[in-house]
Chain A
Amino acid sequence: MNVIEASGLGRRYGGTWALRECTVAIPAGHVAALVGPNGAGKTTLLNLAAGLTAPSAGHVTVLGGQPAGSPMALDGIAFVAQDTPMYKNLSARDMLHLTRNLNRRFDQQYAESRLGELGIPLKRRAGKLSGGQQAQLALTLALARRPRLLVLDEPMAMLDPIARHDFMASVMMAMAADGVSIVLSSHVLAELERVADYLILMSRGRVQLAGEVDDLLASHRLLTGPAAEADRYAERLSVVHASRGEAQAHLLVRATADEPVPSGWEAHPVGLEELALAYLREPTTVLPGPDRARRRPLRSENGERTEAAK
């Protein structure tokens, strides 16, 4: 099952396309990171999936084929929007009560004890809570709905490092305990690197790269060799990003580990951040399509990932 599946999806605001020709399939059971610079279209994609915006082109389904924004979709997705909007004049208790009334499922006891553990007073108004507490309150409201998919849009933008750590720990806990699928966006890859096992890179309104982190790392290599030979060699490869020094050139290419390397060249595995940066530096490079997500061979969850992700 794909938790989010888009084909040819586009959204135009006035004359500008915030998102275009987006074709992507995010499978269930992952922590999927949507990464890209500001203005890449991450929020637009998430808003479309949450049913907050209607597409200008193409279509998007969620939770295995439900139209975005349909009753079934709304029931199964908990969406925590950017800056965690809440009614500032309502108390945390009122926000719980509000959310309970607006949903078919709501675990009041879980929500209350979670806020108790976090030291968030139920009587305090949402507007008077710190940024970290507001984010935790929003996450609590979302988790107490017991969603099948949790969507977090830039959840950590407002948080200090400790609050970020706590927040991500809570998210991972929910993932482990409930098997909820998670899609979260950020413009900082570093904060997602440890938790995400599925990556979607976006820039300039397009999806550049999408796939399981393991697959992506396994299908890219960093080749280092004499600068003089770089151009001739590069013609035969699919180069993502090339950087040349006086003597040595570095080519980040799409190639598996078993592909032969000419003499004088060395192949190294790439790290996730290195890979993402290479793509983001070349915004016009658009690589694998969404088919990969479906056709991907089953593989064990560990493998070289631990080593590659440091």
Chain B
Amino acid sequence: MTALSVPARPEEDVSLRPVPWQRMGWVTWRQHRATLAWVVVFLGVLAVLLYLAGRQLYSAHAAALAACQSASSPPCPGAIIAFNGTNGFLANGFMLQAIPPLIGAFVGAPLLARELETGTFRYAWTQGFGPWRWALAKLVPLAVLLATAAGVFSLMLDWYYQPYFVAANQNLSLTEYTPFFPGLFDLRGIGFAAWTLVAFAIGALVGTLIRRVVPAIAAALVAYAGLAFATSLWLRPAYMTPMVTSSVNVPGSAWVMSQWWTKGGKFAFSGWPPERLFAQYCPQGPPVAVGPGGKPKQVGLAECLTPHGYTQWTAYQPASRFWAFQWIEGGWLLVLSAVLIAVTVWLVRRRAT
């Protein structure tokens, strides 16, 4: 049947030059262009929706500022309620926190898990290019592309949330967030891209370990959630030593970490005063304690206690540290992603399968 003869092999090379890296470019693109297209479409649709929602938010904010130029104007309270209620489901940002893990895990986890699950790694890792170079040449470009796409998308998020960071909001009882608010901090700056990157790297590693696509995606999401919660609860507050002030006028944009009271240079109590003290010095009852955005206003309490020798101290992260925090978080996430990718490549190289 096959009359065609096999061509003669050329002279054996004395020095073996590896297959050039750029040849993997086509391979990676051909095999993952569909996935990348899905990511772009997904983020593109979200960006359009966010743009439409953002226009509503911006106009509600402008209307509230205009209506409340004099606080007594009749349309003011209605405009405030309207702004605070606009796109309430997006306001705290928690829903959008799901985007980095979804993109990262759904692209990262199948990357090696599918090869291992369907057996195609037996094809891919026995070609002349070599398994670990193959893994590296897939992981790094995809990681860069995903992080770039996420970074571009986060510009849209940054734009959307601007009305919540306007300094005038607090006095008008408009919702104001500190830029450190857990739901918003990593939607902006470099955080969003960095978290997408780390989700991808986690997905790739657990995919290599678990070797099955669906369990790997699930495990990657769980691992990501654990990391994100731990970061928000314990790591992020410790990036920089908080500033401490005895002023009672801490701006609404600051991230208040703790408050305590001293008397005569000695620690008295933290947070809310004991009942006994309260009854003694604030007999008129508790001051109106809740300000805009749900932040307790301690001014009333200070009025009661300061004349009796008590001083209020506040430890806080000022909003001016936002970018410092972004670079710290982005930096260690980048290092972590690089380590996870390196471990994945090492596992492939070690042929731990």
Contact = CB atoms under 8 A, between A and B. Distances in A.
Contact of A103 (B2, B16, B17, B127): B127
Contacts of A101: 19, 23-24, 26-27, 129
Interface of B: 1-10, 16-19, 23-24, 26-27, 30-31, 118-131, 134, 350-353
Contact of A178 (B9, B121, B134): B9
Q: Which one of A74, A114, A180 has the greatest number of beta carbons of chain B within 10 Å?
A: A74
A213 to B, nearest CB: 24
Contacts of B352: 54
Contacts of B129: 74, 101-103
B4 A52 contact: no
Contacts of A170: 1-2
Interface string A47-75: 10011111000000000000001011011
A87 B31 contact: yes
A164 interface: no
Interface residues of A, number: 50
A180 B338 CA distance: 42
Contacts of A198: none
B128 A102 contact: yes
B41 to A, nearest CB: 18
Interface in A91-117: 94, 97-99, 101-105, 107, 110, 113-114, 117
A113 B6 CA distance: 11
Nearest to A53: B351
Given A173-B6, A177-B5, A53 B353 contact: yes
Contacts of B16: 71-72, 75
A180 B6 CA distance: 10
B6 to A, nearest CB: 4
A90 B29 CA distance: 13
A53 B19 CA distance: 22
Task: Please list the 8 inter-chain residue pairs (A to B) with the smallest Cβ-Cβ separation, ordered nearest first.
Answer: A81-B122, A102-B127, A85-B119, A103-B128, A79-B126, A178-B6, A177-B5, A101-B23
B27 A98 contact: yes
A166 interface: yes
Contacts of B17: 104
A74 B2 contact: no
B119 A83 contact: yes
Contact of A50 (B9, B119, B126, B350): B126
A104 to B, nearest CB: 5
Q: Which one of A77, A87, A102, A143 has the greatest number of beta carbons of chain B within 10 Å?
A: A102
13 contacts: A50-B126, A71-B18, A71-B130, A75-B128, A77-B126, A81-B123, A85-B122, A87-B31, A101-B129, A104-B19, A110-B7, A170-B2, A173-B2
Contact of A54 (B7, B19, B120, B350): B350
A103 B353 CA distance: 23
Contact of A85 (B27, B31, B120, B134): B120
A63 to B, nearest CB: 10
A97 to B, nearest CB: 7
A158 interface: no
A82 B118 CA distance: 12
A85 B123 contact: yes
B24 A74 contact: no
A148 interface: yes
A227 interface: no
A182 B350 CA distance: 27
A102 to B, nearest CB: 4
